[in-house]
Amino acid sequence: MQDILGMTYYWLKAGHLIFVIFWMAGLFMLPRFFVYHQESAPGSAEDTAWVERERRLLKIILLPSIVVVWVLGLVLAFTVDAWSQGWFHAKLLLVLALSGYHGWMAAYAKKLARRERPLEGRKLRLLNEVPGIAAALIVVLVIVRPF
């Protein structure tokens, strides 16, 4: 019985990491899409194509990925009693921040679809760095467990 539980843990962990990769890929792609979208002429065929690309990325990759990441991550946290460990609290805070970032980007995609363009391309390029910094910090917390 212990072997089955042990193997289940590794499958959960593998699934969690796979969907983290999918989620991060989408978080890297979407702000870049926004930059290209904003460079297109409002109302043009290219503008319409970017709206559809952004919608598909959000619906097909980002939404399912964030759901699976959270579900498997919480199951893993309960499995190893991570709630009592300091590194986990820091990781959870960063994942909450990334989830908020994800939500902000989904809202920004809706603004672009309405032909609103509140941010400059430069700011969007800077925002593209957020998931990379968060991912690096999360990896250090999970692997090194500094506290």
The helix (run of H) or strand (run of E) holding residue 55 is helix 45-56
Each as own residue / partner, the long-range contacts of residues 138-146 (CB below 8 Å, 24 or more positions apart, any chain) are: 138/91, 138/94, 138/95, 141/87, 141/88, 141/90, 141/91, 141/94, 142/87, 142/91, 144/87, 145/85, 145/87, 146/87
Residue pair 20/69 in contact (Cβ under 8 Å)? The answer is yes
Q: Is 91 annotated as a binding residue?
A: yes
- Count of all residues that appear for the chain in the document: 147
Q: Is 102 annotated as a binding residue?
A: no
Token pair, residue 11, equals 């499958």
Query: Annotated binding residues, as ranges?
Result: 16, 91
Query: Annotated binding residues for heme, as ranges?
Result: 16, 91
